[in-house]
Chains A and B, each alone.
Chain A
Amino acid sequence: QSALTQPASVSGSPGQSITISCTGTSSDIGGYNYVSWYQQHPGKAPKLVIYEVSNRPSGVSNRFSGSKSGNTASLTISGVQTEDEADYYCSSYRSSSTLVRSSSSSTLVFGAGTKVTVL
């Protein structure tokens, strides 16, 4: 199963906005609004920052926002801060069948990750 496509790295200065893209296919991102984004600091477990394309869990800064167009999802960090420096992963539900949640064809897939550097 191929991973979703993310840029290897994105950088920005404090206060700038940065956007991370995540490209899939019509079998995953383009077919369902089941896109999530995770933040991972070194040596830590990942943390959910966006679910169902554009929703923020309680406690996550409103500097984080998500969107989707066609087969590409995006995570935007507005006014990036030094503590936002981390790896970011997108994830999506993927089905190779027209039957959603068919056990034989349903999977979840991650992107390869994007390292965000705050200059």
Chain B
Amino acid sequence: EVQLVESGGGLVQPGGSLRLSCAASGFTFSKYSFNWVRQTPGKGLEWLSYFGWSGTTIYYADSVKGRFTTSRDIARDSLYLQMSGLRDEDTAVYYCTRDSSRGYAMDVWGQGTTVTVSS
């Protein structure tokens, strides 16, 4: 079964750091590009980062550029989101998504992991 499973969410104080993980299974991880997307409670979706399959093409949204870093470990079939300088407004459910290679469409989504930034 094609699957993405996020982990690493939790409660963190403003200014703190957190690393999210996304474990992939059921497909060849190294051949796909991925995204991180978040959703604030009761609000819409916000794209955060795109990580190209080659590892050389990485995009970030302005809202997280310089604070968040996306990386991957091919040996572990895992994608990561390192978050630092966290703010109250970063509180959200964070999704890992697979790029379908068709016009940046996201064809596989994880179940999400919740990050709460609060003192």
Is residue B91 within 8 Å, beta carbon to beta carbon, of the partner chain?
no
Q: A48's contact among B45, B106, B110, by CB below 8 Å, is which?
A: B106
Is residue A20 within 8 Å, beta carbon to beta carbon, of the partner chain?
no
Residue of chain B at shortest CB distance from A55: B102
Is residue B46 within 8 Å, beta carbon to beta carbon, of the partner chain?
yes
Instruction: List CB contacts (< 8 Å) of A61-96 with chain B.
Output: 89, 91, 93
Is residue B63 within 8 Å, beta carbon to beta carbon, of the partner chain?
yes
For A55, what are the chain B residues with a Cβ–Cβ distance below 8 Å? Answer: 102
Is residue B1 within 8 Å, beta carbon to beta carbon, of the partner chain?
no
For A107, what are the chain B residues with a Cβ–Cβ distance below 8 Å? Answer: 47, 59-62
Instruction: List CB contacts (< 8 Å) of B57-116 with chain A.
Output: 57-63, 95, 100, 102-107, 109-112
Say whether B110 contacts A1, CB under 8 Å.
no
Q: How large is the interface on A (under 10, 10 to 19, 20 to 34, 35 or more residues)?
A: 20 to 34
* Residue in B59, B63, B112 whose Cβ sees the most chain A Cβ within 10 Å: B59
A114 to B86, CA, bound (A): 29
Is residue B29 within 8 Å, beta carbon to beta carbon, of the partner chain?
no
Mark contacts of A90-113 with chain B using CB atoms, 8 A cut-off: 1 yes-contact digit, 0 otherwise: 010100000001010011111111
For A38, what are the chain B residues with a Cβ–Cβ distance below 8 Å? Answer: 45, 106
For B37, what are the chain A residues with a Cβ–Cβ distance below 8 Å? Answer: 110
A109 shortest CB reach to chain B, Å: 6
Say whether A34 contacts B46, CB under 8 Å.
no
A61 to B57, CA, bound (A): 33
Is residue A41 within 8 Å, beta carbon to beta carbon, of the partner chain?
no
For A1, what are the chain B residues with a Cβ–Cβ distance below 8 Å? Answer: 61-63
For B111, what are the chain A residues with a Cβ–Cβ distance below 8 Å? Answer: 45
Say whether B109 contacts A3, CB under 8 Å.
no
A interface residues with partner B (beta carbon < 8 Å): 1, 3, 32-36, 38, 45-48, 51-53, 55, 57, 89, 91, 93, 101, 103, 106-113
Across the A-B interface, the 8 shortest Cβ-Cβ residue pairs: A51-B105, A52-B103, A34-B103, A45-B109, A36-B105, A108-B47, A113-B44, A110-B45
